[in-house]
Amino acid sequence: MIIYKTFQFDSAHYLPNVPQGHKCGGMHGHTYTLTVYISGKPEEHSGWIIDYTDLKNGIKPFLDILDHKLLNEISGLENPTTENLAVWLWQMIKPIFPDLVKIELKETPTSGVIYEG
């Protein structure tokens, strides 16, 4: 069984490696939507894989690093494409939640990335 929880955060960034004149080369922002997927077997007594509150509390420190920040200034995100941000998030989240199986990160309602480690 896989459970999920969705989070949002707002960040600014610019992409330093795009061609001259590309609109993403200038500073701009996104309201990102992050969905975290955890796999497991529901625990017999509680009936759940993980308490959603525990999941929320475990993800919050990473969102605090990103929310209302310039992503380019965060170590490891000097080229903060959505793909690179998804890998960064995975590397932060996986040690806390070993049963993480997938994250989905949207930079707009219609564009994003799915990363499975």
Q: Is 44 a catalytic residue?
A: no
Tokens of 30: 């996104």
**CB of 29 within 8 A of CB of 80?**
no
Taken as a whole, the chain contains a residue count of: 117
Q: Is 24 a catalytic residue?
A: yes
On whether 22 is known to bind a ligand per the annotation, the reply is: no
Q: Is 45 a catalytic residue?
A: no
On whether 45 is known to bind a ligand per the annotation, the reply is: no
On whether 28 is known to bind a ligand per the annotation, the reply is: yes
Q: Which of 22, 68, 83, 116 is catalytic?
A: 68
Tokens of 77: 């995100």
68 — phi, psi (to 5°)? 55, 40
Give the active site residues: 24, 68, 107
Q: Which residues are annotated as a binding site?
A: 13, 28, 30
Q: Which residues are annotated as a binding site for Zn(2+)?
A: 13, 28, 30
